[in-house]
Structure 1
Amino acid sequence: MIHRAFNISFLVVMCDACQKHTAPKTDGKASSSADINASGQLSTQVVRFPNGILDELEDNRYTATKLKNLVGASVASATKLYDLEGKLGIFFIFQDISLRTEGLFRLQFSLTDIGSPHSNSVNTATVSKVLAVVETDPFIVYTAKKYPGVVQSTALSKCFARQGIKIPIRKEKVNKTHITHKKSVRKSSIATVDLLEDDTEDDELE
């Protein structure tokens, strides 16, 4: 649990996608690749999309446009939130990231303090060091045809949403059978009341 006065103004986390095993595609569809530097770490993954162009001889030639595979806001600032146990903590929310291509991926998160060591401002004099790096477990990215469906929102996501964080929360399905049964019971009650009133009027006439 952190102290309320702890300054989180200059803490940021950068997100990147990693795919350690990729195979080149030759069917004209988007292909992906990941460059490995001297230390064996994976750099930013780039996908290549073919562009069909018509040259002077009216022959089709294909060039590749390079785009970052990770889509969305890949940098998040620190936010103080309460977890499921009611404890105050520091969290970094990435609510709109996605990937362009299918496959098996990991997300890599790098924590950096971009604050100046000499003043309460952004550090512009030196390079800010990465304080910690963590990777997620592998997960599968599907195409639209193979997509199995949206999973239920987690309890932690709902907890953050209640605190004002804009996270897409899936609404739970309402039991239609239960609602229909309630309506039927209500209609039966009204019919019973009407029937009793009619009987009362008949008794008065007699």
Structure 2
Amino acid sequence: MNEIFVLSSVAVILGISQPAHSQDECPPNADPVYCRLANETGGKVYVGDPQDAVDDIMERDFKAAKREKENPKHEYSPYSRDLGCDTQTENRTIEICKSIESNLEWGWTGHAMIAPAWRITPTTLRNVYCETEISAQDLPILKSMCNYPEFLDHNICSKPDNRRLAQALEDLINLIAAQSNTDAETITTIYNPRDENYILKDGCGAD
């Protein structure tokens, strides 16, 4: 009897996205329950020798490593304002990215090792928000810039190679989202209009 199992944890560890089978696409010998579990966990149903699954994972990992070697990520220095805005392709995304670049502030960063660098601050966010007149209409644009995963209930940008750009995009998304969500759970954040340290507390006319 062939062994049926769901392989998802290995794929997660290796950072590989596995296509899942729907119940309508189940292998002939697979239980629909396994297919449903695969869908829910992002795994893939295999029927037969577990080594087939391992070989499949290794092949995918090899292809991913090859793509990374052929198209290496650019290393952005924290001592430079460069956020890779030249990779943006739309006027609005270029405008927002350039504004973030120009409003970075020089200051101390780090925990175990402290050093000065160009960084994102609340003032950075306020200036970008005001200069570029960010509004709720920009939410889809900001999400597209950071490859925002809709299935999560929190904002994690995975697209920009530069972590500072990703941070700024996450913060701007939070700032917009909090304006329509002022419940008790988000009151104690700088994004919420009801918080005493709210980023836009003094409006866009503040010094």
Query: What range is the shorter-chain TM-score in?
Result: under 0.3
TM-score, normalised to structure 1's length?
Answer: 0.18
1 or 2, which has the higher helix percentage?
A: 2
Compare CA radii of gyration and give the structure with the larger one. Answer: 1
Q: Which has the higher strand share?
A: 1
Q: Tell me: higher relative CO, structure 1 or 2? Use CA pairs within 8 A at least 6 residues apart.
A: 1
